[in-house]
Amino acid sequence: METTTYKISDIGEVVGGGTPLLLIATFWGGDIPWFLRKDLTSYKSVYISHGENFLTKTGLKSGTKLLPKGTVLFLQELQLAMLLLLLILSVQIKDSKALYATKR
């Protein structure tokens, strides 16, 4: 079997996360899923579709990025490395990296 090696930049983009200020009420309670670390670490599957929190469009514009369905999330801590595949459009938390395809 022949294998092909690609650089990540050949197939997609890696982006860092961000967290809108929690004290600004107009950022929260919308319909855009936003995951806390506990949402990601307590999930029992490699696929994630929901968490406890949702951003408004105003909250989305305040320092985070909307990620497409199919994005791979990397949650990195000293003792923890997780990979989760987004089943929905979502945004990512500040302590994560995301890889999504920009080329096919």
Query: Is the pLDDT at 62 greater than 80, yes or no?
Result: yes
Query: Is the pLDDT at 66 greater than 90, yes or no?
Result: no
Q: How confident is the model at residue 78 (pLDDT cuts 50, 70, 90)?
A: very low
- CB-CB contact of 43 with 84 (8 Å): yes
Q: Count of CB atoms within 10 A of residue 69's CB? A: 12
- CB-CB contact of 71 with 99 (8 Å): yes
Mean pLDDT, residues 59-83: 71
Mean pLDDT, residues 14-32: 87
As a dihedral over the C-alpha atoms of residue 50, residue 51, residue 54, residue 60, rounded to 10 degrees, the angle is: -80
